[in-house]
């Protein structure tokens, strides 16, 4: 099979690597990117055979006829490019968030309603072995019907959202869309039902300051003492600096913590909170799900699931191995997309999942800006 990629970014390159690990016969046949020449030069130094390079998807699809397309551009382009790919009927792997504005989300929904092709949205958390086991336990009725959820994401690598292009809120749409979209999706997968209302609040208490706009860590007089300095730091997979712009400059975007309350049609609600200045062992990502018969909690960072029966004096503990990328979810998504391209399976994280998660995130962002409850609908 042949695949093509629109936007040859870091994340999508990791996905492609995993696809080829699982199917070594898979060919990366074409790339569409605004930096085609730079990519070609870099690939020439380490690849024996280069893919073809195109300026547009339309030109590429006619000449290459790929079995699957992956979109890994910056976030603000996801929706409009995905809408174009949907009309071709080619299976699509789409990075999250599926859209960064309500206007683009509506456009994408209309395209999907018209062209319901197979789409695998990049939601690896919902297909991790941990979430799969949690789902199995919940479906067994062990804790009863889930009537309340307390979820958290304390991000230990939060600096990435202030040093890079992620700091531009016009590109990210805010950190609900960047991080909570994953958490809202796996929670939706676990509890089902339909969210009806959301209210949210964000704060920016740490990553703000009076450093000049455009200041880079390498040019700062505090580069050797600042706890957030990236001076001299390199990423593990190559020599690209881990970050460059000052996290305490006047042009540093994004909130550094946020919380949301989501009400469901049954009357139950979910509380969710995320933070971007927790570090090291303060990292936490998971949830407590409470029913009348018991409580289940899990944390991706501790690799543990605990079940606390409410009416018997014991605790059940399940220990996982989440050492793989995205706690094992990337492997499952890659396997699913390969099977989708072969016609052997349906998507395990389809477009409807991506649309709903992005809608809740966008409504949460609007709530945080206006101080109002927002109805989760398409108005």
**What phi and psi, each to the nearest 5 degrees, are found at residue 37?**
-65, -40
Nearest to 354 by CA among 155, 19, 82, 142: 82
pLDDT category of residue 256 using cuts at 50, 70 and 90: very high
Q: What does pTM read for this prediction?
A: 0.94
For the cut 60, the answer to whether the pLDDT of residue 10 exceeds it is yes
Query: For the chain, what percent of residues have pLDDT higher than 90?
Result: 89
pLDDT of residue 279: 95
Q: Is the pLDDT of residue 317 over 80?
A: yes
Q: Which residue has the higher pLDDT, 320 or 239?
A: 320
Helix (H, G, I), strand (E, B) or coil at 203: strand
Domain boundaries, the chain: 2-125+330-349, 126-323+358-375
Domain 126-323+358-375 part of CATH 3.30.360.10: yes
**Max intra-chain CA distance, the chain:** 65
Contact by Cβ (8 Å): 355, 119: no
117 contact partners, CB below 8 Å, separation of at least 6: 85, 86, 88, 89, 90, 91, 92
Classify strands 92-94 and 68-71 as parallel, antiparallel or unpaired.
parallel
Tell me: the pLDDT tens digits for 107-122?
999 999 999 999 999 9
Is pLDDT at 240 greater than 80 in this prediction? no
Residue 180 is given by DSSP the state I
239, exposed or middle or buried, with CB in 10 Å at 0-12, 13-18, 19+? exposed
Class of domain 2-125+330-349: alpha beta
Q: Which range, of 150-154, 174-178, 231-235, averages the lowest pLDDT?
A: 231-235
């Amino acid at each position: 099979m042949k695949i093509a990629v629109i936007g040859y970014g870091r994340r999508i390159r990791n996905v492609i690597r995993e696809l080829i690990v699982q199917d070594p016969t898979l060919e990366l046949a074409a790339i569409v990117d605004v930096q085609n020449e730079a990519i070609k030069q870099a690939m020439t130094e380490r690849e024996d055979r280069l893919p073809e390079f195109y300026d547009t998807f339309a030109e590429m699809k006619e000449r290459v006829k790929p079995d699957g397309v992956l979109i890994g551009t910056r976030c603000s382009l996801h929706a409009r490019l995905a809408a174009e790919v949907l009309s071709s009927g080619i299976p699509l792997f789409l990075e999250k968030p599926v859209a960064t504005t309500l206007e683009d989300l509506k456009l994408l929904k209309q395209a999907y309603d018209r062209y319901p092709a197979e789409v695998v949205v990049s939601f690896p958390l919902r297909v991790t072995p941990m979430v799969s086991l949690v789902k199995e336990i919940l479906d067994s009725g062990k804790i009863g019907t889930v009537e309340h959820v307390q979820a958290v994401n304390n991000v230990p690598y939060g600096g990435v959202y202030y040093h890079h292009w992620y700091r531009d809120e016009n590109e990210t749409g805010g950190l609900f869309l960047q991080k909570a979209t994953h958490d809202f999706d796996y929670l939706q997968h676990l509890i089902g039902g339909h969210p009806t209302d959301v209210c949210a609040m964000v704060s920016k208490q740490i990553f703000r300051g009076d450093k000049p706009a455009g200041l880079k860590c390498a040019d700062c007089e505090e580069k050797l003492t600042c706890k957030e300095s990236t001076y001299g730091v390199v990423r593990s997979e190559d020599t690209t600096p881990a970050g460059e712009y000052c996290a305490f400059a006047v042009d540093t975007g994004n909130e550094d913590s946020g919380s949301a309350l989501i009400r469901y049609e049954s009357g139950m609600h979910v509380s969710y909170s995320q933070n971007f200045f927790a570090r090291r062992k303060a990292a936490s990502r998971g949830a407590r799900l409470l029913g009348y018969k018991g409580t289940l909690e899990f944390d991706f960072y501790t690799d543990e699931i605990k079940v606390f029966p409410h009416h018997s004096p014991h605790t059940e503990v399940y220990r996982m191995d989440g050492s793989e990328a995205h706690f094992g979810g990337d492997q499952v998504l890659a396997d699913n997309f390969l099977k989708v391209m072969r016609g052997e399976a349906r998507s395990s994280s389809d477009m409807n999942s991506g649309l709903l998660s992005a809608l809740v995130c966008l409504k949460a962002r609007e709530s945080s800006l206006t101080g109002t409850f927002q109805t989760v609908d398409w108005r």
